[in-house]
Chains A and B, each alone.
Chain A
Amino acid sequence: MKKASWILCCGILYSTTLNAKTIKVGPHQEIADITTGLQKLSNGDTLIAEGGTYHEKNLVVDKSIVLIGINHPVLDGENKYENISVKADWVTVDGFTINNSGISSTVDYAGLKIYNRHNVTIRNNIFNDCFFGIYSQNCTNCTIKNNQLSAHQVQEQRSGNGIHCWKCDTMQIIGNTISGHRDGIYFEFVTHSIIWRNLSNGNLRYGLHFMFSSHDTYAVNIFENNGAGVSVMFSNHVHMFHNSFRENWGDGSYGLLLKEISDSYIDGNIFERNTSGIFMEGGSRIEMYKNTFRGNGWALKIQASCMDIKLKNNNFLGNTFDVGTNGSLVLNTFDYNYWDKYEGYDLNKDKIGDVPYRPVSMYSMIVEKNPPAMMLFHSLITTLLDKSEKVIPSLTPENLKDNHPLMKPLQL
């Protein structure tokens, strides 16, 4: 009986695909523009657009159809319109070039906007100089995959976000390349979603901006050379695995800015050449394993408002300051990390140092208490102070120490 119903199901599916129409539009076809083509279609049909430039003004997709572009046909928004508005479920937009959406300070124009829909797929598109790139509001289970978004605005006000998700659930943002927008990827009130294998570089503000979004994962992304790095705020149950945060260098720029984050995991990430690798404020119950901090100004700035942060098996290599903090209260644990500045010894040869390592230097405490002391950066006296503090700690927090520092860096 079960088998029979399965066959029936397949049969129904097969017959529906047989019924579905496919229409070709293009300069050399009977129908020259997509809007006219769309009127002839019903749910489940396919529209194939050939290469060329289309001036559709605002293309509204209100039927569940598949839009396929051959040779990346160009949809030009003439800096006035929203190029595509998706107002139906089960829509696929594949292989288009979407250029020059409108720019406004009152309306959020986007290259492609999805209005309150589910199961929409946007893939293999190229977005050039759009205000917002892909904007999804109140959507469920949409896939945004392998798109390239670039913009060239200089001012933050004249630029929108690359991939903008607001109040969504189960979104999949995979394999996109975003550059030159305000925020590369923007998440607000987005749950149960994944951001995977994206490259976000050279954006004006943040590579990834993440607010009020819980139960999300972002993995294997590269965030590089963005105005202020990546910021993750007011969220819980966030999983960050194997991302690279690189080259976010400048005043007020962070590799990863964490504010009010709880119950999260930060594992296997690489923080390289940022002014601050991680800046953490008001975090709780965060576990950080197997991350690499290399060549940062501050590897980790962890404010005294954080609690139950566990740092284990991380590598700290070539940072100017390892850890900075602003108070003497320490509710976090550092254990089994490798610190290249560690000067202790290992008598019993178990590869674990016999004396604890204190990652907070005297000078970084002084600077935290008294910022103008930065005037003495790299001077002889600060070096001497750091050395003497290592011998007899007085100003640095007593409990902020790694009791089991590793003698050799971990192979990560």
Chain B
Amino acid sequence: MIKIVKYILLDILRNKIVLAYTIFLFAITFCVFSLEDNAEKGLLTLLNLILFIVPLVSIIFSTIYIYNSSEFIELLVSQPIKRKSIWLSLFTGLAGALSLAFIIGAGIPLLIYVRSVTGLMMIVNGVLISVIFASLAMVAAVRTRDKAKGIGFSILLWLFFSLVYDGLVLFLLFQFSDYPLEKAMIIISALNPIDLGRILILLKMDVSALMGYTGAVFKEFYGTEKGLFVSFSVMILWILLPLLYSLRKFNRKDL
């Protein structure tokens, strides 16, 4: 399995797109911090960029890569290797490469400019979100043989998590505005990895004071060690559940 992971990782790293993605992240992060004299403002700008670009690139690149290596997968399946280890090494390779790209591209400038818990939180969340969306890409890719359909589905997934979900939340908030929803919001925020990542980072910043009572409720939960443990467990679940689902599908799939 390690051999396959190594091969896939090298193949992805040789791919120009990941290299371009790394440089792009690096350039943007550096630009943001050198344009803004205030590190906190830079972090806010970066937060919006990371929550927008990282999931998009992760999910689309992973989906396309899996489709492109379908012949390679077929070749491996004909060998005496378990399907499980093929699929998992494919995921490990993708997640590893994307995380590496994020750590080099955004992590290094972040560590240079913001040596604080907030910066660290941003790096951890960025990596987690990269991995989560790679895992979601596995689901998108395993569902159909049609490449166009697969990519379409992965774009839909991204759109759902970054936009539609928040729209639905807003709709629900207004429908149930007569009820105290602060506590419910904690659960709702955990159901979307992008929201969860955003709130975890925001709570570490000064701007969290603007969030008023809702922010205080969030802080009371996510600010504690238990809350942090729960939220990272939820993130790990977001990686594992789609991955296991796609693995099940892949095991039974007629290639």
Distance in Å from the Cβ of B203 to the closest Cβ of chain A?
10
Minimum CB–CB distance from B159 to chain A (whole Å) comes to 10
Question: Which residue of B195, B210, B218 contacts A379 across the interface (Cβ within 8 Å)?
Answer: B195
CA distance A378 to B52 in the complex (A): 11
Whether A375 lies near B214 (C-beta < 8 A) is yes
User: B182 near A372 (CB under 8 angstroms)?
Assistant: yes
Is B212 interfacial (CB-CB < 8 Å)? yes
Residue of A nearest to B211 (CB): A374
Rounded to whole angstroms, the CA-CA distance of A297 and B210 in the bound complex is 6
Partner of B166 from A249, A318, A370, A381 at Cβ < 8 Å: A381
Closest to B194 in A: A379
Contact B163 A377 (CB under 8 A): no
Distance (whole angstroms) from the CB of A389 to the closest CB of chain B: 13
- B170 to A366, Cβ gap below 8 A? yes
Name the one of B41, B163, B209 contacting A253, with C-beta atoms under 8 angstroms.
Answer: B209
Nearest-CB residue, chain B, relative to A275: B209
Find residues 370-410 in chain A having any chain B CB closer than 8 Å to their own CB.
370-384
- B 146-179 binary contact with A (CB < 8 Å = 1; else 0): 0000000000000000110011011001100100
Residues of chain B within 8 A (CB-CB) of A250 are 209
Shortest A178–chain B CB gap in Å is 24
B170 touches A320 (CB 8 A): no
Cβ B51 vs Cβ A275 within 8 A: no
B181 at the interface (CB under 8 A from A): yes
Bound together, the chains give a CA A297 to CA B41 distance in angstroms of 12
Q: Could you mark each residue 174-215 of chain B with 1 if its beta carbon is under 8 Å from any beta carbon of chain A, else 0?
A: 100100011001001100001100110010001101111111
**B214 and A378 form a contact (CB under 8 A):** no
Contacting residue for A376 out of B169, B181, B182, B215, CB 8 A: B169
Contact B177 A380 (CB under 8 A): no
Residue A369, interface by CB 8 Å: yes
Tell me if A372 and B198 are in contact (CB < 8 A): no
- Which residues of A are found within 8 Å of B174, using beta-carbon distances? 370
Q: Using a CB-CB cutoff of 8 Å, which residues 196-245 of chain B contact chain A?
A: 198-199, 202, 206-207, 209-216, 218
Of chain B, the residue at the smallest CB distance from A367 is B212
Known: A370-B177, A375-B199. A320 touches B182 (CB 8 A): no
Checking B52, B162, B177 against A369 with a beta-carbon cut-off of 8 angstroms, the contacting residue is: B177
Q: Measured between alpha carbons, how far is A384 from B212 in the docked complex, in Å?
A: 22
The distance from the CB of A271 to the nearest CB of chain B, in whole angstroms, is 15
Given A378-B198, A380-B163; A372-B185 close (CB under 8 Å): yes
Known: A369-B177, A371-B214. Is A376-B209 also a contact (CB below 8 A)?
Answer: no
Q: Once the chains bind, are A375 and B47 in contact (CB under 8 Å)?
A: no
List chain B residues, Cβ under 8 A from A350: none
Residue of B nearest to A249 (CB): B209
- Please, which residues of chain B bring their CB within 8 A of the CB of A251? 209, 212, 215-216
Rounded to whole Å, the gap between the CB of B218 and the closest CB of chain A is 8
Tell me, yes or no, whether B108 is within 8 Å of chain A by CB.
Answer: no
B44 within 8 Å of A (CB atoms)? yes
In the complex, B48 has a CB within 8 A of chain A = yes
Residue contact A378 to B206, C-beta cutoff 8 Å: no
**Which chain B residue shows the least CB distance to A375?**
B185
- Residues of chain A with a CB closer than 8 A to B167's CB: 381
Is there an interface contact between B209 and A371, defined as CB atoms closer than 8 Å?
A: no
- Let me know if B177 and A374 touch, CB within 8 A: no
Q: How far is the CB of B182 from chain A (nearest CB, A)?
A: 6
Query: Contacts A297-B209, A320-B207, A372-B185; is A380 near B195 (CB within 8 Å)?
Result: no
- Known contacts A369-B177, A372-B185, A374-B215, A379 near B209 by CB under 8 Å: no
Q: How far is the CA of A166 from the CA of B208 in the complex (A)?
A: 38
Closest Cβ of chain A to B180, distance in Å, is: 8
A374 to chain B: which residues have CB within 8 Å? 210-212, 214-215
Q: How far is the CB of B208 from chain A (nearest CB, A)?
A: 9
Q: How far apart are B26's CB and chain A's nearest CB, in angstroms?
A: 23
How far apart sit A263 and B200, CA to CA, in the bound complex (Å)? 45
When the two chains form their complex, are residues A381 and B163 in contact, meaning their CB atoms are under 8 A apart? yes
Q: Is the beta-carbon distance between B166 and A371 smaller than 8 angstroms?
A: no
- A275/B213 in contact, CB under 8 A: no
Q: Which residues of B contact A370 (CB under 8 A)?
A: 173-174, 177
**A377→B210 contact, CB < 8 A:** yes
Minimum CB–CB distance for B219 against chain A, Å? 9
Residues of A within 8 A of B44 (CB): 378
Given the known interface contacts A369-B177, A381-B163, the answer about A376 and B211 at a Cβ–Cβ threshold of 8 Å is no
Quick one: which of B38, B48, B173 contacts A383, CB cutoff 8 A? B48
Residues of the A chain whose Cβ atoms lie less than 8 Å from the Cβ of B181: 372
Instruction: Name the distance in Å between B65's Cβ and chain A's nearest Cβ.
Output: 25
Contact B198 A379 (CB under 8 A): yes
The one of B166, B185, B209 in contact with A380, judged by C-beta atoms closer than 8 angstroms, is B166
Chain A residues with Cβ under 8 A from B215's Cβ? 251, 374
Listed in ascending order, the chain A residues whose CB lies under 8 Å from chain B are 249-251, 253, 275, 295, 297-298, 318, 320, 366-367, 369-384
Sample of 17 further A-B pairs with CB below 8 A, known A380-B162, A381-B170: A249-B209, A253-B209, A275-B210, A371-B212, A373-B170, A375-B188, A375-B189, A375-B195, A375-B199, A376-B166, A376-B169, A376-B195, A377-B211, A378-B48, A379-B194, A381-B163, A383-B48
Q: Sample 30 A-B pairs with CB under 8 A, ordered by A number.
A: A250-B209, A251-B209, A251-B212, A275-B209, A275-B210, A295-B38, A297-B207, A297-B209, A318-B41, A320-B207, A367-B212, A370-B177, A371-B213, A371-B214, A372-B173, A372-B181, A372-B182, A374-B210, A374-B211, A374-B215, A375-B169, A375-B195, A377-B202, A377-B207, A379-B166, A379-B195, A380-B162, A381-B167, A382-B166, A384-B163
9 residue pairs, one from A and one from B, having the closest CB atoms: A381-B166, A374-B214, A297-B210, A374-B211, A372-B181, A375-B185, A372-B214, A275-B209, A372-B185
